[in-house]
Amino acid sequence: MNIQFHEASGVFSLNTAHTLYQMKADSTGVLLHLYYGHRLEGETEYRIRYTDRGFSGNPYEMRSNRGYSLDTLPQEYSGSGSGDYRPSAVQVLGENGSRTVDLRYAGHRIFRGREVPQGLPYVRGNEETETLEITLQDPAAGLEVRLMYTVFPSCDVIVRSAHLTNISEKTLTILKAASFSMDFPYGNFDVIHFHGRHCMERIPERIRTVRGQMSFGSRRGMSSHHSNPFVILCDRHATETTGACFGSMLVYSGSHLEEIDTDQAGSVRLVSGIHPDGFAWQLKSGETFETPDAVLSFSGDGLNGLSGQYHRLIREQIMDPRYRGVKQPVLINSWEAAYFDFDAEKILRFARAARDMGIGMLVLDDGWFGARNDDTAGLGDWVVNEAKLGCSMGELSDRIHDLGMTFGLWFEPEMVNEDSDLFRKHPDWALCDPDRRPVVARNQLVLDMSRQDVVDYLYQAMCEVLDHARIEYVKWDFNRSVANCYSHALPPERQGETAHRFMLGTYQLLSRLLERYPGLLIEGCSGGGGRFDAGMLFYCPQIWCSDDTDAIERLEIQRGTSYGYPVCAMGSHVSAAPNHQTGRVVSLHTRGIVAQSGTFGYELNPEQLSEEEKKEIRQQVEMYYRYAGLIREGTYYRLTELDGGEDYCAWMFVSPERKEALVSLTVTHARANGPFPFIRLQGLEEHMWYRLEGTDLVCSGAALMHAGYSFPLTFGEYASHQLHWIAEDRRKENV
């Protein structure tokens, strides 16, 4: 068993391959956090120290022990209003107006597998999965909280969530329900969070924890471009290859909050969950509210070690297993090639040209439905515009299949234009406060996905299209932040539920479609990577990483994304030069190498390519198919440090058996007479010998990892190298 309860000491131990998590309920029933970190033998309760810090009060039963305070002890799920002045995990409003929550241990159970949350994406679990459920109660508040700890031993991951049940006869209103809270009583930490904006998502910022509170999050009704629901706490000296790193990632796509608080004595608390701003969930007697999963992981091997654990967990336990090992075709997307200006003949010309370069799927982006000729109209009317296309979608998809290609189609289900038949018929289906004009963004409003009739309409409208054409792929877009989060279907006292019910509606629609079309691949998208999160990855095994397709900008975006998410999830395409977002000119070679570290595809007008470019693209596509297994299933390593000051960005993939490695390097700043770009490889077998493909050079894994490898100087901006190392059986005497 990886979960143990030691009767004599009362200590719970959660073991993974390399980590240990310990806690215990003390004599007053407070669930104390004892330890999370390297796997070790024995118990760690000795770390708890008691002292009177002043102005840190004592629970009534401990009033004569001034060293005992909820304000200073490390806890597992912090209450509120009961003498712990750090951020709370849970806040509840009772009918009597009290907001205090003081939770005490009431029991536990350990079981195989896990309980699957209702209507939410989750970490799936397998035969090695075990769960510890600890029940805490506060009879005065009428609240029971079941803390769920599900252990994924080989991924070194613990998944936490909380189930809140109303055990009173009255109605409770939940004002905050974090997925977890955790205290780190000792250590000096840096925080790495992932901020951004449209066209520049998931940029890591590494900062020292400060005394007091730091918080990151999104109030946008979406996980957002601006702040990803993933944070890392690491040793001040941690690097890509060394040091202790803790990660927290929510499996959720709506508004979220990550709070990091450093208290009077330097103890750090991390709390994460659904954003409490605007949240108020009515819980009737006997009802339960389940929080989203939070994925916790620890690595003692630096940031690359931590990333590897998240990549593995997401690939093996979050993404739908039906996509594992499936060789997805390289696709061409019509957006940057045609925007709204196309008909079926033009799309077929793109398809023919793409097919001749080995590309396997044509994706028709925005503009094929309703009166959609620009972004002012048509959203919500999921009816094929046959007049614009010049044929039905069935005919177009047949003709694309006749070329030997598969076909994909764009949708933006959760949105509506005011200029649409849907809005004219059902204005109350859009989120909007009574007596107010709504915030408009990109000319669109947000549909009320908390309503079952809206979800049912979208399901039927989408099925109507999907049933009448051969469609293997859907791009699921979401092009604005949510505002005026008011549902006309909910009573006033339940409006605080709208934002979360919205996410439940979206997840329901995704689940129903995937159930009906089991072969369908849905690529998530939100104006690029505005909903790049583990919740969406549960349904969509790939997500369009950013609307910025500039290869040099993508180096940053994809690198930042890689801290938490696997490369096989990152939608990345080769687009035109000059680039449509930045005007930058980058060689086709470099654009190809950068896009290959992702799902790989093209987003350009193939009719505007020279013969030479077409030839190069043919080679790129062949190359991608050759390396796709290594890129999708291999272990990914960042080879350059965050803010390392290098003029290049390098990364690599190593096959699971370490017999093959692919190293990529792009120069980001050309310098006259500059230093040679230099890297140390990672993840190889020290004693194995690796040949650099196409050369006589054979090096030991140890040489490549410790002595490193230098690249020749290049001339011109943004040159790239790609090296393929293959293990050899024979020994070579000299390197």
Catalytic-residue membership of 603: no
528 binds ligand DGJ (CB under 6 A): yes
Interface with ligand DGJ: number of residues (CB under 6 A) = 11
Calculate the CA dihedral of residues 727, 729, 733, 735 and round it to 10 degrees: -10
Residue 400 dihedral angles phi and psi, to the nearest 5°: -70, -40
Whether the Cβ atoms of residue 639 and residue 652 lie closer than 8 Å to each other = yes
Q: What's the token pair of residue 194? A: 């992932």
Give me the 303-342 binding string for ligand DGJ, x by CB under 6 A, dash otherwise. Answer: --------------------------------x-------
- Residue span binding ligand DGJ (CB under 6 A) among the ranges 9-17, 385-393, 524-532, 533-541: 524-532
d(Cα 686, Cα 704) in Å, to the nearest integer?
9
525 binds ligand DGJ (CB under 6 A): yes
Q: Which residue's CB comes closest to ligand DGJ? A: 366
**Which residues in 472-501 contact ligand DGJ (CB under 6 A)?**
477, 479
Q: Is 524 in the site for ligand DGJ (CB under 6 A)?
A: no
Q: Which stretch binds ligand DGJ (CB under 6 A): 39-47, 217-225, 392-400, 520-528?
A: 520-528
* 660-667 sheet: strands from edge to edge: 635-638, 648-654, 660-667, 720-728, 689-692, 698-700
CA distance 258 to 253: 14
- CA 426 from centroid of its chain's CA atoms: 33
- CB nearer to ligand DGJ: pick between 374 and 453: 374
Q: How far apart are CA 318 and CA 169, in angstroms?
A: 37
Q: CA 356, CA 558: separation in Å to the nearest integer?
A: 29
Stretch that binds ligand DGJ, among 50-58, 309-317, 489-497, 521-529 (CB under 6 A): 521-529
Torsion of CA 631, 635, 641, 642, to 10 degrees: 70
Residue 280: count other Cβ atoms within 10 Å of its Cβ: 16
Minimum gap (Å) between residue 617 Cβ and ligand DGJ = 20
Among 365, 472, 550, 553, binds ligand DGJ (CB under 6 A): 365
Q: Which is nearer to ligand DGJ, 302 or 528 (CB)?
A: 528
Span interacting with ligand DGJ, options 387-395, 513-521, 522-530, 649-657, rule CB under 6 A: 522-530
Interatomic CA distance for residues 26 and 32, integer angstroms: 7
Measured distance CA(276)–CA(265) in Å, rounded: 27
Q: Which is nearer to ligand DGJ, 201 or 660 (CB)?
A: 201
Closer CB to ligand DGJ, 172 or 525, in the complex: 525
CB of 516 to ligand DGJ, least distance (A): 23
- CA atoms of 354 and 603, how far apart (whole Å): 11
Pick between residue 276 and residue 527 the one whose CB is nearest to ligand DGJ: 527
Q: What's the DSSP call for residue 676?
A: P
| Residue with smaller CB distance to ligand DGJ, 258 or 547 | 547
Cα dihedral: 356, 722, 604, 716 (round 10): -130
Footprint on residues 392-431 left by ligand DGJ (CB under 6 A): 410
Q: Of the residues 205, 395, 613, 633, which is catalytic?
A: 613
Half-sphere exposure of 695 (CA within 13 A, CB side): 9
Helix or strand holding residue 627 (H, E): helix 611-633
Among 298, 411, 544, 600, indicate the residue that binds ligand DGJ (CB under 6 A): 544
Cβ 333 to ligand DGJ shortest distance, Å:
7
User: Which residue number, 183 or 477, has a Cβ lying nearer to ligand DGJ?
Assistant: 477
- In angstroms, the CA 18 to CA 39 distance is 5
Q: How far apart are CA 290 and CA 297, in angstroms?
A: 21
Helix axes 588-596, 611-633, angle to 10 degrees: 20
Least distance to ligand DGJ from the beta carbon of 570, Å?
A: 13
Catalytic residue among 533, 550, 556, 660: 533
Q: Is the CB of 308 or the CB of 601 nearer to ligand DGJ?
A: 601
287 is catalytic: no
For ligand DGJ, the binding residue among 547, 548, 553, 660 (CB under 6 A) is 547
**Which of 201, 366, 472, 548 lies at the binding interface for ligand DGJ (CB under 6 A)?**
366
**Annotated active-site positions, please?**
533, 613
Task: Give the binding site for ligand DGJ (CB under 6 A).
Answer: 335, 365-366, 410, 477, 479, 525, 527-528, 544, 547
